[in-house]
Amino acid sequence: MSTNANVSLRRTIPLPANREELLAKKTMKSMTLNDYVDAIHVELFGVDEKYTRFLHAAWNSEAVEGALDIDDTMAAQIIKQYAIEKKIAYVMDSNLATIRHSLKVVLNRYHMSRKERAYTVAGEIIPDGDEDHA
């Protein structure tokens, strides 16, 4: 027979006591660059044909500009231009390399990374190692 003597209950986080505390919890966290890039990505994807085309390739041979890194940079440039037009300071003040990195984080979140798409077969991600030389 088992004993529950060593089991300690976890204390749950209490609900906010009132509306002000509720709103304070919501506004305490500020958006990150990834959040802003995510929002812009959603606005551009499938609407801006050029942007979507730069994200399509999974291999260098398929890339619009012949290299995935260049296509990533071109997509980042479109994101930055959108941010400039909409006056989204956090993004428009960031450099392209940082926006490009953030875009990769966003694509990972949506399971749209180039690597994941390149190595997925029938919904299963296949290790990218060369099995013949393992």
Is residue 35 packed enough to be buried (19+ CB in 10 Å), middle (13-18) or exposed (0-12)? middle
Each residue of 47-57: pLDDT tens digit?
A: 999 999 999 99
Over 90: is that where the pLDDT of 100 sits? yes
Domain presence at residue 128:
no
User: What pTM does this model have?
Assistant: 0.73
Q: Are 58 and 119 in contact (CB under 8 A)?
A: no
- Report, as an integer, the average pLDDT of 47-76: 97
- Report, as an integer, the average pLDDT of 17-21: 83
pLDDT of 134: 37
Q: What contacts 113, CB < 8 A, 6 or more positions away?
A: 104, 107
pLDDT of 4: 54
Domain count, the chain: 1
Domain presence at residue 8:
no
- Secondary structure class of 14 (helix, strand, coil): coil
**Token pair listed for 83:** 């941010």
Domain presence at residue 112:
yes
Q: Are 117 and 125 in contact (CB under 8 A)?
A: no
Q: Which domain holds residue 49?
A: 30-119
More confident residue, 19 or 54: 54
Over 50: is that where the pLDDT of 133 sits? no
- Report, as an integer, the average pLDDT of 2-26: 69
